[in-house]
Amino acid sequence: MKERHAPPSEEELISRAQKGDRSAFEALYRNHVGGVYAICLRLCRDADAAEALTQDAFVRAWMKLGRYEGRGAFGGWLRRLAVNVVIEERRTGARRARIFMHPPPGDEGGAWVREAAGPWGGEAAAGDERIDLERAIAELPAGARDVFVLHDVNGYRYEEIAGILGVAVGTVKSQLHRARRILRTTLEKE
C-alpha cells in the first residue's frame, strides 16, 4: 500500500509549533508572511521598517503562541498582533534611529511630498489602478491612513480599530470619512 503524505493542516502546524517545533513555525511563517507584511507595509509606508516589524511580529507570535486558542483564523490573530507591533513601535521606537545632531527625518504629512509615495514611489506604471490607490493611501495623513488600511483594506470594524489605536469610535468614523474623501479627490484627479 502506497503511503500518502498529506501536507499537515494549519491546525496541526500550530499545535506542533506551540510545542516548540520550529520547522512547523517556519511553515506557518511561509503561509502568512504575505498578509503580515502587507499590513505592516501599508501602515508604515517604508519597506525596510515593514520588514523589521514583520520580523518582530513573528517573533512575538512565537512567544505568544501558547495564547492562541484557535478562536478565529490564525492569520487574523497574526495580523492583529502585527498591527499592535506597528503601533507600539511608532510610539517608542520610531525616533531612536536618528543620528544625533542631524535634523530629524521628516515626519508624517505635508513636508514629505516627494517621499509620500513610499514603497510604491518607484513603480513605473502610473496608470495602474492598483498602484495609484496604494500611492494615494501612502500619502494620507497618518490617522486617516491607519483607519483606512485597517477598515477598508483589512476589514476591521470601527470598535476594533478604536481599541487598537487607542482612540474613540467617533474619531475612527471621522478619520475614515476624511480618508475616503481625500482618496476620492486624489484619484479623481487622474
User: Which ranges of 20-168 would DSSP assign to H, the alpha helix?
Assistant: 22-44, 47-64, 74-92, 129-138, 142-148, 158-165
Angle (deg, nearest 10), helices 158-165 and 74-92: 40
Instruction: Give the nearest distance from C-beta 136 to another protein in angstroms.
Output: 10
The DSSP output letter for 110 is G
Judged by CB under 8 A, the chain residues 94 through 113 that form the site for another protein are: 95-97, 99-101, 103-104, 106-107, 110-111
Is the separation of the CB atoms in 23 and 8 below 8 Å? no
Instruction: Give the nearest distance from C-beta 4 to another protein in angstroms.
Output: 28
Cα separation, 91 vs 55, whole angstroms = 18
Nearest to 175, CA basis, from 190, 164, 187 = 164
By CB under 8 A, residue 125 contacts another protein: no
By CB under 8 A, residue 35 contacts another protein: yes
By CB under 8 A, residue 129 contacts another protein: yes
Say how many residues touch another protein, by CB under 8 A.
Answer: 61
Site residues (vs another protein, CB under 8 A)? 20, 22, 25-26, 29-30, 33-35, 37-38, 41, 47-56, 58-60, 62-63, 66, 89, 91-93, 95-97, 99-101, 103-104, 106-107, 110-111, 129-130, 133-134, 148, 151-153, 157-158, 173, 176-177, 180, 183-184, 187
